[in-house]
């Protein structure tokens, strides 16, 4: 009887584990070959912003860092649009070596770079290429910063105005940011002028819901966790853009010097950065539009290889991103 009972219990355990075993295998990811990527429409320019999860990143020693901040800045010079696309840090992707991984783990100690004996620069390039092949983009230019450098850049533009909820205010007070880092002194909900350090801490809030805002699905609701972080990142960048709507070209060049001196790495030349400044100057005051990848309803929680990841529907998100970016497509006469 004991033997029969033991066999029965073992069977129950095995049956209970079966769904987990099945769930441990991700769905195939439809990666696009580089040669098959859609061409970037004329007049559209992509710049990838990558933030290292560190207050003191160093290109010579990037191993073990995560690329948690991933925001694509897209400028459409013909349609007169400025667009921000943020990518959540825990989406499950197919790495260039054919293995599954998290999108922010290219520099992880056991990530793509260390397993394939690649440098930090090669890992960053592989990250950008992975975003391209997963979302049907052709991003070429990217800038890498850390938290301290973001703080310095925000201070260089004179700080940012941010509207926060009462819960966000309570979180920031408990974090013990300096009383001098907001104007007025931080109280409850409302709009405050944030210094660089306080703005970075705000951008890093993860466990508190955001304010309610309009999502790509046409509904209004709040975000939390990484979705909330990506929204706050976009919100701060939008505030920076708004604060620069009256900037002179001379001051824009001074700000460019600050940006250049506060980068971990970039593959952009000085001339390419000057061209980006010219584009931005032409679009001063244009409202910044934004979207998050993945959009609502196209992903699911998916534990994989001891990691918390999200498995997303890339076909649906490619379509959503393309609709967003080409929403105001215009025909341009080459002559």
Contact in structure between 27 and 122 (CB atoms under 8 Å): no
Question: In the chain, what percentage of residues exceed pLDDT 90?
Answer: 70
Residue 274, in any domain of the structure: yes
DSSP 224-239: -HHHHHHHHHHHHHHH
The C-alpha atoms of residue 163 and residue 301 are separated, in whole angstroms, by: 30
Q: How big is the CA angle at 174 (ends 168 and 179), to the nearest 5 degrees?
A: 90
Query: What is the arithmetic mean of pLDDT over 151-168?
Result: 96
CA atoms within 13 A on the CB side of 145: 21
Residue 31 confidence class, pLDDT cut points 50, 70, 90:
very high
Residue 22, in any domain of the structure: no
Residue 330 confidence class, pLDDT cut points 50, 70, 90:
very low
Contact in structure between 95 and 112 (CB atoms under 8 Å): yes
Q: Which residues of 273-310 are buried (b: 16+ CB within 10 A; e: fewer)?
A: beebbebbeebeebebbbbbbbbeebbeebebeeeebb
**How much is the pLDDT for 141?**
97
What does the pLDDT look like over 232-278, one tens digit per residue? Answer: 999 999 999 999 999 999 999 999 999 999 999 999 999 999 999 99
CA 257, chain centre distance (Å):
24
**How much is the pLDDT for 8?**
45
Contact in structure between 192 and 200 (CB atoms under 8 Å): no
Query: What is the arithmetic mean of pLDDT over 279-296?
Result: 94
Residue 276 preceded by cis peptide, ω within 30: no
Average pLDDT, the chain: 88
The C-alpha atoms of residue 164 and residue 236 are separated, in whole angstroms, by: 11
Cross-strand partners of 304:
307
Residue 215, in any domain of the structure: no
The residue among 187, 148, 135, 192 whose CA lies nearest residue 166 is 187
**How much is the pLDDT for 122?**
92
Tokens of 49: 């912003």
Residue 156, in any domain of the structure: no
**How much is the pLDDT for 310?**
94
Q: For residue 93, what are the domain limits? A: 39-148+224-325
Contact in structure between 295 and 230 (CB atoms under 8 Å): no
What does the pLDDT look like over 183-223, one tens digit per residue? Answer: 999 999 999 999 999 999 999 998 899 999 888 888 888 89
Q: What is the pTM of this model?
A: 0.88
Residue 140, in any domain of the structure: yes
Residue 263, in any domain of the structure: yes
Say which CATH number the domain at 229 has.
Answer: 3.40.630.190
Residue 1, in any domain of the structure: no
**How much is the pLDDT for 1?**
52
Q: What is the CA radius of gyration of the chain?
A: 22
**Number of domains, the chain:** 1
Residue, of 208 and 331, whose pLDDT is higher: 208
User: 20 pLDDT exceeds 70?
Assistant: no
Residue 154, in any domain of the structure: no
């Amino acid at each position: 009887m004991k033997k029969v009972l033991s066999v029965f219990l073992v069977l129950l355990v095995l049956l209970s584990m079966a769904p987990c075993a099945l769930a441990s295998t991700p769905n195939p990811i439809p990666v696009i070959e580089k040669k098959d990527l859609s061409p970037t429409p004329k007049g559209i320019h992509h710049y990838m912003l990558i933030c290292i999860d560190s207050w003191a990143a160093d290109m010579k020693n990037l191993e073990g860092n995560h690329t948690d901040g991933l925001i694509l800045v897209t400028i459409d010079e013909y349609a007169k649009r400025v667009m921000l696309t943020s990518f959540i840090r825990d989406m499950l992707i197919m790495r260039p070596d054919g293995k599954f991984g998290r999108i922010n783990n290219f520099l992880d100690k056991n990530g793509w770079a260390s397993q394939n004996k690649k440098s930090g620069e090669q890992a960053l390039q592989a990250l950008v290429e992975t975003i391209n092949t997963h979302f049907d983009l052709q991003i070429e230019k990217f800038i890498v910063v850390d938290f301290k450098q973001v703080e310095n850049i925000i201070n260089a533009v004179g700080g940012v105005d941010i509207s926060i909820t009462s819960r966000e205010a309570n979180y920031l007070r408990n974090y013990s940011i300096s009383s001098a880092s907001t104007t007025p002194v931080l109280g409850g909900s409302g709009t405050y002028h944030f210094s660089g350090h306080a703005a970075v801490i705000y951008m890093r809030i993860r466990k508190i819901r955001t304010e309610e805002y309009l999502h790509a699905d046409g509904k209004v609701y709040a975000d939390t966790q990484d979705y909330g972080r990506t929204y706050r990142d976009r919100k701060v960048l939008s505030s920076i853009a708004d604060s620069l709507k009256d900037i002179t070209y001379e001051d824009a060049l001074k700000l460019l010097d600050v940006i250049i001196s506060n980068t971990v790495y970039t593959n952009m030349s000085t001339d390419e950065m000057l061209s980006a400044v010219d584009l931005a100057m032409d679009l001063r005051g244009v409202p910044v539009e934004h979207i998050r990848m993945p959009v609502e309803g196209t992903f699911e929680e998916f534990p994989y290889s001891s990691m918390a990841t999200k498995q997303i529907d890339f076909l649906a998100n490619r379509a959503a991103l393309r609709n967003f970016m080409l929403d105001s497509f215009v025909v341009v006469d080459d002559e």
